[in-house]
Structure 1
């Protein structure tokens, strides 16, 4: 979103519209019901920005016959960078202090992306990664809209300059006169903008269905919204220059402005997180905003909507809107991550009040002084603001990262089993005994070990690499044998991300016992033979269905000695037997269970032996939140299993029996009586609430081989990972 230029240079209704935009965004993010669709305030900002920037460019062309690109970028830098940098630095410091070594590094990296105005591209790439979607939201995620606008500003002035120059050259050739044809320039701009905006809208509709998360952040799917504002500015400029233009009737202006405001309000109350967006739906708040902006420029008579938007509280909020937008998001998300729980209503109200206080200070002490600073008046000095802010952010990133790197994880000792561990813990399984020992140490409230594996700063990246066989990409259809690739025997692992986190264990088993290993795993694609929804919409995930069919054909050709299925249930909705859309757990649970049965029956005909490896226990909170706390101990990080986990495991056991295959337990390697230690020995067991780390998977290789009945086989060269 663009920072206001100055109070006198802007129409008061525009400032009021800024207030509507920022208040709806804050209300939505602060979970003030029923404004679930308040995120459309960002779309309102896009239209305002396109409108105002195009007006400024047209006026500059009118004055000088050209566009000063350097001057334009210098003005943008002075108005946008100071406040944005202050909030980024404050967010980086807060992340180090309160997010700890697990999540702070990601937040620090995001501040650099935000500083380069490329955070939207980074989020688009990261959010397509299932394991990144598991992470808490970035405290600078909201900078994506600034990045989209800055990318628009990078291109649009160049387009305006090119069009003006081409029209002027054509006019001189045809008329032989130096006087510019401003009407022709505006017509050419209008035509170019219609083509570019139309292409962007088409791409937005196409990508929202195919790649909804990435399309949300893309400048190519959002450019048409800024184009709407630019179209309004060009149309008004054409009207001002037309001698035949007639004043609109008062009623028409009133209806246009009221309809625009009604469209924004309607979107705020009817859209929600499940609404496919932006697609064509962004046109509702977009056209509404454009209608208000155009109505306000049609004549001397002010509409009722104009007057409502121009009241003092609205214009004042509009003045602060840029800083309000910058501050509100980190103030809302950092406390949630620090506390490990949702905020109460009182806490959210207090944070919104703090947002207004900080926005007022930032507007008075940062935005206004930099905007008015005479020493920055020369264009080259204004442009220098950008590299200066980047250097500052890099310095903050380096110092903060260094601090986190040298921060100790804990000062306790690794829990030792002792020589009598089999008698003491009643098991011959060393991995199970270590879990029992970890629970005992937690009951004694012992400290975390001085060093953990993986290190906390690496925890979020501890998920198995599938190399070139990332089947989440529908274009990838090849095999990637691992383990003992020279062996004639093979093991196949099938499932979703809850199979993928076993890869390091099966790699070690394959190397030790002489098996080629294949991993037909696709994140967000449960092995249950149901049709799940796409992650970010209610559309069917046909890619998942096609992948499972392809995988079944490949397994039939491989004919593995052992096939292991490990999976979770679909996390969203799915299609029932008759094609009906199911979302409630009571409706989906029996369908998913039957899907397990059908999947196992199909797969067992393609392998000598089939085993359903039951899903690992899910814990109620994110382990990283606990481990990242300065007060973390083994006791405070002893977590409980989720309420529905027992029912899910029961369904999987029953499905295995009905399909006539074996099932293998996993509970004993993670929990004792529903209590699950986050740290076992010096190993962090959980990457998040439902996935284990690579390091823990390697640790379980020996126990897993025993559970699957593979320990009688003759070992090949190499060694499987075993209990440490």
Structure 2
């Protein structure tokens, strides 16, 4: 498989679909739209792209420039995060809600998922504090970025070692999820642990990275590609993913669901990237509107959750006024953040090796 650092348009289309799934789930269609699956897809794509870019760097220079890697990540994530945090603080102050220093620290240093699970109950404190809750998934991604480049440098030359350790690392979160499901009797409690903590969800990102390694670096690349491009495998993958939506058992949903989705997303991602000029690619994954929404997905993800608690504080939840407020504020803030806050840092990211 040819390894490069070019942008993959289809993955932007998948991001666009995924953020719409998350958004519509949160504005009242959660009983119809699997919002959690949208986040799992984001995790998978993030892991795939990070691994692909790092493998390309290793191919060119036999090393990873860790300094440049982390500077690129900071320039990618922090501008919007700082803007989001500043607006959230402003919202809290305008509503007479006191600031919690530890919560600000957790937000700015990617610890919100642990803070949210262990240190605060948003149902018992002010509703507007829960704006920061959306940062739980970003925390998991950042923790992954600290671990994965080192792991890749240490193991990438040895296919068996890399795959074997990856499988082990994929099993550990599953076993922890099973442990929490068995030890925490309340489904709402073990859902909170298993859905949000790094050590129970980091495998959702690693599945994507392992796919990139199998396709672009391992000695099994040709066989892995042929297997994942098989239409029978694709049909099975779609069937299993549908099963994870239909099977509503609490224990299954908070344990094996994430592992099965990680495994069976792989054929769909391969089909999407290498599906050529198929009607699915033309209609969805390469659709200009969905690709554009995908480019805005980080901004939309942040600011739709600022809009939702704010709307819920002032309006009847899920009412027409509530929904109009959420949509308009999300669109306005996301566009402003993307063009006025995030884009000015693109040149700086390119200086440190970004290909955007």
Q: Compared with structure 1, are the counterparts of its residues 322 and 254 closer, same or farther at alpha carbon in structure 2 (3 Å cutoff)? A: farther
| Corresponding residue to 1:319 among 276, 291, 295 | 295
Shift of 1:74: 0.9
Q: Compared with structure 1, are the counterparts of its residues 277 and 142 closer, same or farther at alpha carbon in structure 2 (3 Å cutoff)? A: farther
Partner Cα separation in structure 2 for residue 244 and residue 276 of structure 1: 34
Contact kept, 8 Å, 1:163 with 1:189, in 2: the verdict is: yes
Q: Which residue of 1 aligns with 2:351?
A: 377
Shift of 1:259: 5.9
Q: Compared with structure 1, are the counterparts of its residues 11 and 301 closer, same or farther at alpha carbon in structure 2 (3 Å cutoff)? A: same
Q: Compared with structure 1, are the counterparts of its residues 246 and 82 closer, same or farther at alpha carbon in structure 2 (3 Å cutoff)? A: closer
Q: Which residue of 1 aligns with 2:197?
A: 218
Shift of 1:81: 0.8
| Corresponding residue to 1:115 among 108, 112, 119 | 108
Q: Which residue of 2 aligns with 1:193?
A: 166
- Per the normalisation by structure 1, the TM-score is 0.43
Shift of 1:303: 4.3
Q: Which residue of 1 aligns with 2:56?
A: 59
Q: Which residue of 2 aligns with 1:233?
A: 212
| Corresponding residue to 2:306 among 312, 316, 330 | 330
Q: Which residue of 2 aligns with 1:279?
A: 255
Secondary structure of 1:161's aligned partner: helix
Partner Cα separation in structure 1 for residue 279 and residue 43 of structure 2: 24
Q: Which residue of 1 aligns with 2:13?
A: 16
Shift of 1:155: 0.9
Contact kept, 8 Å, 2:307 with 2:326, in 1: the verdict is: yes
Q: Compared with structure 1, are the counterparts of its residues 271 and 285 closer, same or farther at alpha carbon in structure 2 (3 Å cutoff)? A: farther
Shift of 1:331: 0.4
Shift of 1:120: 0.7
Q: Which residue of 2 aligns with 1:105?
A: 99
Q: Which residue of 1 aligns with 2:124?
A: 134
| Corresponding residue to 2:45 among 44, 48, 61 | 48
Contact kept, 8 Å, 1:254 with 1:303, in 2: the verdict is: no
Higher alpha-carbon Rg: 1
Matched residue count: 341
Secondary structure of 1:232's aligned partner: helix
Alignment of 1:668-687 (within 5 A): none
Shift of 1:278: 3.4
Q: Which residue of 2 aligns with 1:207?
A: 180
Q: Compared with structure 1, are the counterparts of its residues 27 and 214 closer, same or farther at alpha carbon in structure 2 (3 Å cutoff)? A: same
Shift of 1:369: 1.8
| Corresponding residue to 1:361 among 336, 346, 352 | 336
Q: Which residue of 1 aligns with 2:138?
A: 146
Alignment of 1:257-276 (within 5 A): none
Shift of 1:122: 0.7
- Higher relative contact order, structure no. (Cα contacts within 8 Å, ≥ 6 residues apart): 2
Secondary structure of 1:31's aligned partner: helix
Q: Which residue of 1 aligns with 2:34?
A: 37
Contact kept, 8 Å, 2:22 with 2:35, in 1: the verdict is: yes
Q: Compared with structure 1, are the counterparts of its residues 143 and 247 closer, same or farther at alpha carbon in structure 2 (3 Å cutoff)? A: closer
Q: Compared with structure 1, are the counterparts of its residues 277 and 352 closer, same or farther at alpha carbon in structure 2 (3 Å cutoff)? A: farther
Contact kept, 8 Å, 1:35 with 1:268, in 2: the verdict is: no
| Corresponding residue to 2:322 among 347, 371, 376 | 347
Shift of 1:220: 0.7
- Per the normalisation by structure 2, the TM-score is 0.84
Q: Deviations over 1:396-443 (max 9, x none)?
A: xxxxxxxxxxxxxxxxxxxxxxxxxxxxxxxxxxxxxxxxxxxxxxxx
Q: Compared with structure 1, are the counterparts of its residues 242 and 115 closer, same or farther at alpha carbon in structure 2 (3 Å cutoff)? A: same
Q: Compared with structure 1, are the counterparts of its residues 86 and 243 closer, same or farther at alpha carbon in structure 2 (3 Å cutoff)? A: closer
Shift of 1:53: 0.7
Q: Compared with structure 1, are the counterparts of its residues 243 and 280 closer, same or farther at alpha carbon in structure 2 (3 Å cutoff)? A: closer
Shift of 1:111: 3.1
Q: Which residue of 2 aligns with 1:491?
A: none
Q: Which residue of 1 aligns with 2:266?
A: 290
Contact kept, 8 Å, 2:72 with 2:352, in 1: the verdict is: no
Q: Compared with structure 1, are the counterparts of its residues 275 and 311 closer, same or farther at alpha carbon in structure 2 (3 Å cutoff)? A: farther
Shift of 1:162: 2.3
Q: Which residue of 2 aligns with 1:426?
A: none
Partner Cα separation in structure 1 for residue 22 and residue 37 of structure 2: 7
Contact kept, 8 Å, 1:216 with 1:277, in 2: the verdict is: no
Gaps of 5+ in 1: 1-7, 165-183, 383-724
Contact kept, 8 Å, 1:13 with 1:310, in 2: the verdict is: yes
Partner Cα separation in structure 1 for residue 195 and residue 155 of structure 2: 30
Q: Deviations over 1:635-687 (max 9, x none)?
A: xxxxxxxxxxxxxxxxxxxxxxxxxxxxxxxxxxxxxxxxxxxxxxxxxxxxx
Partner Cα separation in structure 2 for residue 247 and residue 79 of structure 1: 31
Q: Which residue of 1 aligns with 2:187?
A: none
Q: Which residue of 2 aligns with 1:402?
A: none
Partner Cα separation in structure 1 for residue 93 and residue 269 of structure 2: 42
Q: Compared with structure 1, are the counterparts of its residues 378 and 290 closer, same or farther at alpha carbon in structure 2 (3 Å cutoff)? A: closer
Alignment of 1:592-611 (within 5 A): none
Gaps of 5+ in 2: 185-189
Q: Deviations over 1:245-275 (max 9, x none)?
A: 597499x555655665676666567769x67
Contact kept, 8 Å, 1:34 with 1:269, in 2: the verdict is: no
Secondary structure of 2:317's aligned partner: coil
Partner Cα separation in structure 2 for residue 269 and residue 326 of structure 1: 28
Contact kept, 8 Å, 1:236 with 1:294, in 2: the verdict is: no
Q: Which residue of 2 aligns with 1:93?
A: 90
Partner Cα separation in structure 2 for residue 227 and residue 348 of structure 1: 35
Q: Which has the higher helix share?
A: 2
